[in-house]
Amino acid sequence: MGNLIDEVSKRINIPPLLEANLKKAVTDRNHIIHHFFMDEMDEYETMILPNGPTILSNKLRPIRDFFAAVHSEVDELVGLVIAELRKPKNEISPNVRNMLKGSDF
């Protein structure tokens, strides 16, 4: 996922706040994939409790909510760019022109 963000950054000037949120999302994703469940297994009592799945779900909920918010930001940006690129070149907004790197708009 980090490589994908790097590749997009080569082509589009991603707004700084969105870029920071994307990098945080990669960090959070990596933590979940590589550490979260192993860390929870260290506290194996959680796993065997009747409400263990609920406890784990509650720990993951803020990260899920953050991912959803970042996803919405990306969708909004992509929608804006696609809508502008459907216009004739001379009608594309200056903001979108400035976002696109290496283009001849």
Look up residue 77 and give its two tokens. 């940006």
Q: Give the C-alpha separation, 36 to 28, whole Å.
A: 10
Burial of residue 25, with CB atoms counted within 10 A of its CB: 0-12 exposed, 13-18 middle, 19 or more buried: buried
| pLDDT for position 20 | 95
pTM of the shown model: 0.78
Q: In this predicted structure, what is the pLDDT of residue 42?
A: 61
For residues 60 and 54, the answer to whether their CB atoms sit within 8 Å is no
Q: Which of 2, 12, 5 is nearest to 96 (CA)?
A: 12
pLDDT tens-digit profile, the chain (105 residues):
888 888 888 888 899 999 999 999 999 999 999 988 777 766 666 667 788 888 888 989 999 999 999 999 999 999 999 999 899 988 999 888 888 876 665
